[in-house]
Chains A and B, each alone.
Chain A
Amino acid sequence: MKNKSTIIKYINIVILQLTFISMATAAGSTEDFLRSTGKIYSVVAVILVIFIGIVIFLFRLDNKLTKLENQIKNEQ
């Protein structure tokens, strides 16, 4: 059951990222949010991508470790 909840969390993150990307594609005109104040928000977007990527890595490792723990528990 725990695996399922982690998968749901993982999917949530992917959705979050997709909304983010769609937000970026919607930025068509020259004066939109991500281009305001010298395009500083594109730097924020880049940092967010790195952060979300590391969080996905952590969730996957978490998932793997849970599996391993369950395996040890079942053997005992």
Chain B
Amino acid sequence: MKGIWWKILGVLIFIYVLVGGLTVPLKSGITSTDPGNALSGEHLALKIHGYNSHFYSAKKNRAWLKLDSIHALRALNFEVSSENDAVLHFDLPSYFPGKVKAQPLTLILDNEVDGVFVQPNAVFVSVTDTVHSDTIIPSGIWKSADLGHFHEAKSLHFPYRNILNETIRNTFFHVALWFAMFVLLIVGLYHAIKYLMTGDFDHDIQSASFNRIAIMYGVFGIITGSIWAKYTWNTFWTTDVKLNMTAVAMLIYLAYLVLRGSSSDHDRRAKMSASYSIFAFLALIPLVFVIPRLTDSLHPGNGGNPALGGEDLDNTLRLFFYPSIIALILLGTWMASLLIRYQRLKEKIFMSNQ
């Protein structure tokens, strides 16, 4: 049992991430609303299609069209046709605050099962009558702006994000792979420095093995990211700065593997690859962490400040995201240790032959 517990722990945590990460439902959301625009002062019958919603089972369905923080309009009637389909009836007032000719309205839905959820810019209202503008006091209909008490969703759920939908679960695999890769590279770097300091050949073996697994994770990360991009950004590869910089970083590390394979002299190879891996790691930091933040990127948290927060990574996602990183580090260490044992054995045979 001694020495095997962390391997079992890694597997158990990964099973937890797989099962939990795939079974926890998404929060309710709205996939489509019809029609997309309306005229002020008219009756609006808004057909909505929900995702993971429970209009039928919920007893207290409420809906609003919200203009801004003080102006909102409650639905007169909530006609439920199925769990995910409903028709909302609104009487749009002829008076709209402000002088804007087209007003975007946000749809807010609330019931006791799903909690509250929002569709921004659900309806664009063309204001036909701008005569009133600022001088007239808002008509009574806007006074329903007080939305009252919202329900909280009952069960654990991941945030619903437009376009992302269920792919938000890829955070546990794609993003965690990169985090784990980084930790493994740091271990590889530590052993590379240790080798250069002590000249102990075993450190070279350990450094190379950890780097190899980290590069493998990096390749997984690029492939999984590419698949994710296809279903959210609609292309396998974009000119996104983070993608290209990561590709450059991965090529630098692939050159590391070529370098190790090219030299047959053990001592030379160890020295060369140890110093090269230090260089590669130092190149990786600006490529992955600095440059993408200087410009715009499709990745969250780039082109500005890091954003491991908000809706991109809320507390329910964290429940599985951090364990996933730990599991991938443990599994990676396991795989690296297999390579280390293989290399040590090979070394032993090589030495005994001489």
Contacts and interface: CB of A to CB of B under 8 A. Distances in A.
B153 interface: no
A49 B165 CA distance: 20
Interface string A2-44: 0000000000000000000000110100000011011110110
Interface in B207-247: 216, 219-220, 223-224, 227-228, 230-232, 236
Contacts of B346: 68
B342 interface: yes
Chain B binding surface SS class = helix
A43 B232 CA distance: 12
Contact of A57 (B26, B169, B216): B216
Chain A binding surface SS class = helix
Contacts of A54: 331, 335
A53 B218 CA distance: 11
A68 B343 CA distance: 10
Given A38-B51, A57-B335, A49 B345 contact: no
Interface residues of A, number: 26
A72 B177 contact: no
B191 interface: no
Contacts of A72: 349
A42 B339 contact: no
Given A49-B227, A57-B216, A38 B26 contact: yes
B22 interface: yes
B220 A50 contact: yes
Contacts of A75: 353
Interface in A43-76: 43, 45-47, 49-50, 53-54, 57, 61, 64-65, 68, 71-72, 75
Nearest to B234: A30
A33 B339 CA distance: 39
